Chain A
Amino acid sequence: MMAGTAEILLVDDNPADLDLTIDALAQSSWPSHVRTVSDGAEAIAFLRREGKYSGAARPHLVLLDLNLPRKDGRSVLADVKTDPALRRIPVVIFSTSQAAKDIERSYELGANSYVSKPPTLAEWVAAVKLLKDFWIGCACLPREEQND
């Protein structure tokens, strides 16, 4: 459980899905600040605070779609989880795919969990709220940015 405002990064190229997720995140009472980027390369730039993201806050949680333009979600995940400066950030895969190979590959690469985008509005809201309640309201998160 964390004190203060949680920084959440959403990586998704579908604006409709982003809106739904932002809406659902707002239904969890934990205070949060949501940022969005729409492709994998932007996500990496954001996390590494490159270019226009030099002042970006380090997220406490990343929701990452798998099929993204420019840089695929799998590749973003691999980069984050092999980067000593980033690998402690919880990354939850949030994708339409229910394919076993996507799920297995994501966990192999170090995803902190894998949630398939639910088909109905009610389930979507419930899943996103549950994710936020758990990761922000319940789980212990690494405190400071650390380098190994």
Chain B
Amino acid sequence: MSATSAATARKDENSGIAIKPQLRVLLVEDNPADRDLILRELRKGEFDVISDVVQTAEEFRQRIKTNIPDVVLADYNLGQWRGMEALEILRAEGLDIPLILVSGAMGAVTAVECIKQGVTDYVLKDSLARLSVALRGALKDKEARQERNRNQQALAGKVEELARSNADLEQFAYVASHDLQEPLRMVSAYTQLLAERYRGKLDEQADKYINYAVDGAARMQSLIQDLLAFSRVGRQETALKTTDCNEIVGQAMRDLQAAILESGATVTHGPLPRLMASSSQLKQVFQNLIANGLKFRRSEPPVIHISAEKQGSDWVFSVADNGIGVSAEHAESIFIIFNRLHTRTDYPGNGIGLAISKKIVERHGGSIQAVPNQGGGTIVRFTLPAGKSADRQDPA
């Protein structure tokens, strides 16, 4: 009823030369005198103001649903309700609209409290001249906030996209390797059957061809098994629980006992921390790294030492060996799945151990790298976040 129509406002202002930026203002005011004062002040400012006035909370709630303003000016002390309630209504509607309080008298403490709660600014009725400054500030604020939101949304979108594409890849690797197994098993079993039952019954060439087929199928089976194991790391839910690394390194060593005995290796470890981890996955990391130390050995018996030290908020683990070492140019590529630096004859295996270890460490929020050990050999270092519940079992 008391709304000054947009058309009127524009007509008044259009006599001027400069085109003012348009601004839709919703005024929450039940005192007609104050209302007129504020509207007059608004028209003096630098904006082409389209104003609208509401008095009650219900009116306010209805109006912002149909007609979203750029800014809300609310009297702090209305007859039936308070300007701060307008802020709550805006929030409940999910609207990010700056709200400026207009008040006859407002103490500094109250003002600060209101701003803390989310009011953009406040203007006293006896210094309404400040209104245009407050409006400008409010709009700038809103733009900055919107810009920040846009950036955050764009980033979140990218992150989500990346996560989805990773999940798709995991799923693809898993399904592909899973579904490939059955036909491959047929090829493998029947070439083996041919080899068993027809060896020497055809000719030498035939025996050789059959052996190639048997070898090829067997190698492909082992690659698929490894691919499955690799993609399974990504599919597993990683339930983190307090893990005593001394214990899991002990388990890993027990699992490798046969290989340790056979190679005559010495495997030792310093004091290791307790931290939050998936113990089965972390055991796999230690097991892979120790197994590499045993495998990539020189002629002398392998010597492997595992240690940990706290650096900032991380634990840094080192698995050091006296083996053949790795050159700087290969220090990164050895972590790529199926990447091998040696022939299968020299060092058997598919090149899966470090790739799986890297994936596990990264899923735990850490990183992994290989560096040369002084006096030959390799040190594989990886970090794990110490977390809150890690105890202070500092390695001496």
- Chain A residues at the B interface, C-beta cutoff of 8 Å: 14, 16-17, 20, 23, 96, 117, 119-122, 124
Contacts and interface: CB of A to CB of B under 8 A. Distances in A.
Among B193, B196, B218: residue with most chain A CB under 10 A: B193
A121 B192 contact: yes
Interface string B296-315: 00000000000000000000
Contact of A121 (B181, B182, B189, B225): B189
Among B185, B189, B190, B218: residue with most chain A CB under 10 A: B189
29 contacts: A14-B182, A14-B186, A16-B186, A16-B189, A16-B190, A20-B189, A20-B193, A23-B193, A96-B181, A96-B182, A96-B185, A117-B185, A119-B181, A119-B185, A119-B188, A119-B221, A119-B225, A120-B188, A120-B189, A120-B192, A120-B218, A120-B221, A121-B188, A121-B189, A121-B192, A121-B193, A121-B196, A122-B192, A124-B189
A17 B221 contact: no
Contacts of B185: 96, 117, 119
Nearest to A123: B189
Contacts of B193: 20, 23, 121
Interface residues of B, number: 13
A96 B228 CA distance: 14
B99 to A, nearest CB: 54
Contacts of A96: 181-182, 185
A13 to B, nearest CB: 11
Given A96-B181, A119-B188, A120-B218, 20 more contacts: A14-B182, A16-B186, A16-B189, A16-B190, A17-B186, A20-B189, A23-B193, A96-B182, A96-B185, A119-B181, A119-B221, A119-B225, A120-B188, A120-B189, A120-B221, A121-B188, A121-B189, A121-B196, A122-B192, A124-B189
B189 to A, nearest CB: 5
Nearest to A96: B182
B169 to A, nearest CB: 19
Contacts of A124: 189
A16 B190 CA distance: 8
Nearest to B189: A121
A121 B184 CA distance: 12
A9 to B, nearest CB: 21
Contacts of A17: 186
Interface string B178-208: 0001100110111011001000000000000
Interface in B94-140: none
The 10 residue pairs across chains A and B that have the minimum distance between CB atoms: A121-B192, A16-B186, A121-B189, A96-B182, A119-B221, A20-B189, A119-B185, A121-B193, A96-B181, A124-B189
A124 B182 CA distance: 13
Contacts of B182: 14, 96
Contacts of B188: 119-121
A105 to B, nearest CB: 17
A16 B141 CA distance: 72
A124 to B, nearest CB: 6
A121 B196 CA distance: 10
A92 to B, nearest CB: 18
A119 B189 CA distance: 8
A121 B185 CA distance: 9
Contacts of B225: 119
B191 to A, nearest CB: 9
A15 to B, nearest CB: 10
B148 to A, nearest CB: 44
Interface string B214-236: 00001001000100000000000
Contacts of A23: 193
Contacts of B186: 14, 16-17
A23 B196 CA distance: 13
A14 B189 CA distance: 13
A96 B181 CA distance: 8
A120 B185 CA distance: 7
Nearest to A15: B186
Interface in B64-101: none
A17 B186 CA distance: 7
Nearest to B195: A121
Among A20, A120, A124: residue with most chain B CB under 10 A: A120
B6 to A, nearest CB: 64
A27 to B, nearest CB: 12
Contacts of A120: 188-189, 192, 218, 221
